[in-house]
Amino acid sequence: MKKSLLAVGSVALDSVETPFGKVRDVLGGSATFFSAAARFFLPVSIVAVVGKDFPAKYLRFIKSLGVNTSGLEVAQGKTFRWQGYYDYDLNSAKTLRTELNVFQSFDPKLSASHKSCKSVFLANIDPKLQYSVLNQIKSPSLVACDTMNYWIGTQKEALLKLLKHVDIFLCNDAEARELSKEYNLIQCAKWILKRGPKLLVIKKGEHGVLCFSKNFLFLAPAFLLESVMDPTGAGDSFAGGFIGYLASQPKLEEQVIRRAIIYGSVLASYNVESFSLDRLAKLKRPDLLKRFDLFKKVTHF
């Protein structure tokens, strides 16, 4: 069977302002950024929901990337919207408005083809919903999930239940500390890895990525850029490159994981060079490989 990857998350309309510009109601969402990055390594299908107001041009755009949108439900109501602002500290957004709209009642029922996917990414949604989706998939070989501080604060037990069935857990450093109640990130990693995941990936924005397993630790910086326009979706673009590369490989071994971290970091670096998915959409595989090689050159010693 040909390898494929299922991404379950949000497709949204974002309004974003940074010191370098402003956009309104542009394409966003965790499943969107993830699939735009993961498509470089294997076929991707998304499961998400949008409202009747979702622009047809954005649906055509997602399809033009080669992403399977058969699992994108169009429900009565309005599309999930997020509005945020970044100052010169681009590591954290100030949320100005969140409208869940149709996403509030999102309860995906997977098709037969989605249920047969061997690799799945459960993007940042309610862990009870993540668990429900995972239970519909037949014998997955690779399961990864993301989360956020809101779910850790309100659904911690549900998240811990999910982690028992997850191979890879992604979060940022503040979320790792909040979940584990440890301050030191090494202690955080030990606590989380005892709860089920084989890998813990801690995203630190412009300060790079930490990857922990029970057998090794890998640290990677963020790729140094001259121009950063908008960090929205960087974490999901990283996850797309990282999980996409892993899912395309025959084994989950250390060297493969290290390369996957760099691919994720490279795709995140392209994402932040524009608002929305403008840069990722124009990205060609030779450019991806060129920056991957440059990343290797500037970090090797």
SS3 143: strand
Q: What is the pLDDT of residues 153-172, one digit of tens each?
A: 999 999 999 999 999 999 99
pLDDT at 206: 84
Q: What is the mean pLDDT of the chain?
A: 94
Angle between helices 156-163 and 127-135 (to 10 degrees): 30
pLDDT at site 160: 97
Per-residue pLDDT at 195? 96
Residue 93: the pLDDT is 82
- Domains, in order of start, for the chain: 5-299 (3.40.1190.20)
Q: How many CA atoms lie within 13 Å of 8's alpha carbon, on the beta-carbon side?
A: 28
Q: What is the DSSP string of 81-135?
A: EEEEE--S-TTS-EEEEEE-GGGGG------HHHHT-SEEEE-SS-HHHHHHHHH
Which residues of the chain register pLDDT less than 50? none
Q: Among 166, 163, 158, which residue's Cα sits nearest to residue 127?
A: 158
Query: CA 51, CA 54: separation in Å to the nearest integer?
Result: 6
User: C-alpha distances in angstroms, 204 versus 62, 201, 229, 262?
Assistant: 28, 10, 18, 14
**Predicted structure pTM score:** 0.95
The pLDDT value given to residue 49: 96
> Quick one: pLDDT at residue 199?
97
Determine the angle formed by the axes of helices 185-193 and 173-180, rounding to 10 degrees.
60
State residue 99 phi and psi, 5-degree precision.
-120, 105
**What per-residue confidence (pLDDT) applies to 29?**
95
Give the pLDDT of residue 259. 97
pLDDT of residue 1: 52
